[in-house]
Amino acid sequence: MRIIAGFARGMVLAVPRGDAVRPTSDRVREAIFSSLGDRVVGATVLDLFAGTGALGLEAASRGAQAVTFVEQNRAALVVLEKNVAAYTGRGGEAKLSISRDDVSRFLRRGGRFDVVFADPPYGELPAQLLADKNLPGIVGDRLVLESAKRDAVPVSPPWELVREGVYGDTCVRILARL
């Protein structure tokens, strides 16, 4: 895995062993960022279920002003910290922070982010996240939600589907608040 564009283009990302983390592939990240266009430039970004941090670091590389990573898995945190340190070591200017927390608890604390990435474990969790009453107040412009193609993820108010793409087993939905 690597950063595919921007300041840190080509930077190799560490990935934890095992199947506890399912990093977003280069192909899927390219599709996501092509759809978002310049929305990440100067944006505040939230990377929920951050794993390796690939989505947030890609956003930082493409000009995001600040990125907050939320992750609670210990193995993923070790790799995430390593990747953030490697990015910072390259002279990246984005403000990067890691919250070692449960996503639901983080959302209850509030805040506002221009772009929110969410790549929860496949299964019921993507639909549960979308139904979280605290999520709409966090999202300023776009929510990018990854799930398995087979997962039922109903999109209803306060969300509007802007774009949807299927890449192998992965479905990416870009949502806006109504």
CA distances from 34 to 48, 59, 108, 128 (A): 20, 12, 31, 27
- Indicate whether 124 belongs to any domain: yes
- Indicate whether 97 belongs to any domain: yes
- Indicate whether 2 belongs to any domain: no
- Indicate whether 19 belongs to any domain: no
What one-character DSSP code corresponds to residue 73?
A: -
- Indicate whether 21 belongs to any domain: no
Render each residue's pLDDT in the chain as its tens digit; 178 residues. 899 999 999 999 999 887 667 788 899 999 999 999 999 999 999 999 999 999 999 999 999 999 999 999 999 999 999 999 999 999 888 999 999 999 999 999 999 999 999 999 888 789 999 999 999 999 999 999 999 999 989 999 999 999 999 999 999 999 999 9
- Indicate whether 71 belongs to any domain: yes
Pairing of strands 159-167, 170-177: antiparallel
What's the CATH code of the domain at 116?
3.40.50.150
**How many domains are there within the chain?**
1
Q: Tokens at residue 75, please?
A: 């193995």
The pTM score is 0.96
Domain containing 65 equals 27-177
- Indicate whether 139 belongs to any domain: yes
H helices present in the chain, as ranges: 26-36, 54-61, 74-89, 103-108, 125-131, 135-138
- Indicate whether 20 belongs to any domain: no
**DSSP letters for 137-163:** HHEEEEEEEEEETTS-----TTEEEEE
